[in-house]
A = this chain, B = another copy of it.
Amino acid sequence: MAVELVERLEAGKAAEIMEELNSDIQADVIGELDQQDADAILAEMDAQEAADVRQLVAYDDHTAGGLMVAEAFTFRESDTVGAVLHRFVTEDDDFERYRGQHPYIVDREGRPIGVVSLRSLLTSRRSAKLTDIMTKPVTVAASESLDALQDLFDKYPFLGLPVVETNGRLVGVVSRAAVDDAALERAESEGLRRHGVVGDELRSMPLTVRARRRLAWLSANVVLNVIAASVISAYEETLAAVIAIAIFLPMVSDMSGCSGNQAVAVTMRELALGLVRPIDMARVWGKEASVGVINGVALGVLIGIVAWIWKGSFFLGLVIGTALALNTLIAVSIGGVVPLLLKRIGQDPAVASGPLLTTITDMAGFFLVLSLATAMMPYLI
C-alpha cells in the first residue's frame, strides 16, 4: 500500500514523506519501486539517508542486513553517561527509532567495541566514561541468515543486536521484533507456497496476476497427472474386465496422498525447528516406515472390508486393501524423505514436495491396484 501511494506522488513530495520513515521501511518501499522512480526519490532525499537506503536495498530480505535499521544509538570512546542522557533529552523525535537498542560504543573506524547495559546506565555517575562500564557486544554479520538470527535471539535475551559489515564496521541494528516478524511471515508464506500460491497473494491484487500465478503451478500439475494416469492407461484391459476397480482408484490415490502429506508436514516442521538435517534421511525413513506399517495395515483392512461388502467380492477387497497398505508405506516413506532430498539439492521443499509426492504415490498406487488385479484376475471375474 505504501508503495502504491509513493508511486502516485511526485518525487520531491515522496522524498519528504520517506524521510519520516525508519530506514528499514524506506528500504522496503524503495526496493519495490521500479529503478527510475526509486532513483528520482533517492535524489531528492538527504544524501546520507539516501546512501543508507541504497545499502539496505542491496541486502537480501532474510538476512541481518535486510532486517536491520540503519539508525544505531552510537557513541564514541570518549563519551560519558551524561552524553547518553543528553541524547535522550535532545533527540526527542528520533528517540523512537532507537527503541530496544542500547548505547553502542564505536571506535574511530566505526567498529562496535562495547555496549552499555541499561542498569549500568541507571546506576553510574553522569561523569562515568562509557568505556569503563561497557561490556563486549555480541555482533552479527550483515549476511547472517534468518535461521541463525532466530538461534541467536533464542540464546541471548537481547532486544537488538548490532550488525557489522565484513570490515567490522557497524552498519545497523537488527531487532528481535523484526526477526520474529520475518519468521512469522516466512511460516505463513510457506503454507501458501505448498499449494502453489506464490508472491503472497491477496484478493486485493489484480485478477490477471492472481489467475496467472496460480495457473503456472496448476499447469505443471497437469503434466504430472498425465504421467500418473498413463499407468491406468496401460491396464485398460484389466479395468474393462473389472470395472469396479475404477471406483477405488481415486480413493487409493487420495488416501495415499493424505498419508504422505502428513509425513511431509512433520518433516517440514522438524526442518523449521532444526530437529532434522538433510543428511538424516535414513533415520527419518525408519521412523516413518514404522508409522507406515501400522497405518497401512489399519487403512488397508478398513478399505478392504469396505470394498468386499460394497461390491460383494472378497478378492476385490483383498486387492484394494493390499494395494493401499503397501502404498501407505511408500507414501509416508517418500513424504518423510522428499523434503530433505529437495533441501539437499538446493530446491524449495515447501513448493516441490507436494506435487512430487502425489505423482509418485499416484503412480505407485495405480500400479499396485491394477497389477494385483491383473494377477488375481481369475478370482475377480
Contact = CB atoms under 8 A, between A and B. Distances in A.
A210 interface: yes
B119 A284 contact: no
A250 B362 contact: yes
A246 B239 contact: yes
B265 A247 contact: no
A217 to B, nearest CB: 8
A188 B269 contact: yes
Interface residue tally on A, bucketed by range:
35 or more
B191 A187 contact: yes
Contacts of A214: 259, 262, 291, 295
B299 A202 contact: no
A229 interface: yes
B250 A250 contact: yes
A170 to B, nearest CB: 22
Given A195-B262, A203-B266, A214-B291, A303 B222 contact: yes
A210 B89 contact: no
Listed residue (A248, A254, A266) with the most chain B CB atoms within 10 angstroms of its CB: A254
A100 interface: yes
B266 A197 contact: yes
Given A203-B287, A211-B295, A291-B214, A251 B275 contact: no
Interface of A: 84-85, 88-89, 95-96, 99-100, 118-119, 121-123, 157, 159, 176-177, 180-181, 183-184, 187-188, 190-192, 194-197, 200-204, 207-208, 210-211, 214-215, 217-219, 221-222, 225-226, 228-229, 232-233, 236, 239-240, 243-244, 246-251, 253-255, 258-259, 261-262, 264-266, 268-270, 272, 275-276, 284, 287-288, 290-291, 294-295, 298-299, 302-303, 306, 310, 358, 362, 366
